[in-house]
Copies of this chain bind each other. A is one copy, B any other.
């Protein structure tokens, strides 16, 4: 099988677990955070740097690569791994989320979605078959089924419609998928309706994917509601398959998500806030571009072992960011990813040592969400 998963250890007090995700480009320990390389690059970083901070699998975006530079070009370059010089696993999303986010620029039918490029306004058509073709050309290790993600809030009626379409599209994805060495994950939808989540999970589990994503969360709903729906949904997913919570990656959500049985996460948050001059710490977000750090000669985070924290001060990094220097956002990006990977290591250790709930409670007592 192209993708396989082994649970190594289960926590007794929570749904947290340790596992190994096996792909055509090697194995990855779970729970795992996947940095996002939207345009075939984790913004500002080389692949070696991504690996050095702890990255073992990245996510790349089908929609963006389809539009630029084009999936055929990447296929002709030898696939995405070779094109971007990253030899470890890659997961590609289906393009669905981006296409549905285009709002007035897209039109949905049973066949698929007509949309306009955000780059040049040209018209394009995406369908389950097209999403599989593009991801096959990209050659990712894990492809995602083409789904319809209902925005928040949505009516029960529309959410059900999107869910049913997502199930039908999931079947069409599997029917045409041929790429060797690539596994396809299904995406559970159902919005904020527990019974619809159950319906979606049952229908997709019947299709027997090698892994399941939980989509349609972290789309604007309160975190408590997200946790509630997550708890409920995970209950209907098979124990022996990996569970992937899409688009989630703030430190508190990682801790809470793992405790609820999630194995995989991705999010632009660490890299995006880095480019705005903000860094993650155990106490919460620190906006290093703020004037109060102009003469602060301490590291971004005194507890961090990353390249930025070992060699530079807040004052220097603030100077770089204020001056528009690329090195500034390189350093904040390195720090933020290293921070998350260190956190994931601590989480795995806590699971291994049967103190995940204790770890979570202690972490959340210090961390201030902003």
Binding site for B on A (CB under 8 A): 39-41, 43-46, 68-69, 73, 76-78, 83-85, 294-295, 297, 307, 311-313, 315-316, 318-320, 322-323, 325-327, 329-330
**Would you call A320 and B76 a contact (CB within 8 A)?**
no
Residue of B nearest to A331 (CB): B46
**How many angstroms from the CA of A78 to the CA of B359 in the assembled complex?**
39
Q: How far is the CB of A224 from chain B (nearest CB, A)?
A: 37
Q: How far is the CB of A68 from chain B (nearest CB, A)?
A: 6
A326-B325 CB under 8 A given contacts A40-B319, A73-B315: no
**Would you call A69 and B39 a contact (CB within 8 A)?**
no
Residue of B nearest to A68 (CB): B323
A295-B76 CB under 8 A given contacts A319-B40, A320-B41, A323-B39: yes
Partner of A294, one of B44, B69, B83: B69
Partner of A297, one of B40, B77, B312, B323: B77
Interface centre among A39, A43, A307 (most CB of B within 10 A): A39
Partner of A46, one of B83, B313, B330: B330
For A69, list chain B residues within 8 Å (CB). 294, 315, 318-319, 322
Q: How far is the CB of A84 from chain B (nearest CB, A)?
A: 7
Q: How far is the CB of A325 from chain B (nearest CB, A)?
A: 5
Q: How far is the CB of A321 from chain B (nearest CB, A)?
A: 11
A40-B316 CB under 8 A given contacts A311-B85, A326-B330: yes
Q: How far is the CB of A206 from chain B (nearest CB, A)?
A: 40
Q: How far is the CB of A113 from chain B (nearest CB, A)?
A: 23
**Would you call A319 and B43 a contact (CB within 8 A)?**
no
A77-B40 CB under 8 A given contacts A45-B327, A69-B294, A330-B46: no
Residue of B nearest to A46 (CB): B327
**How many angstroms from the CA of A316 to the CA of B83 in the assembled complex?**
6
Partner of A68, one of B77, B311, B313, B322: B322
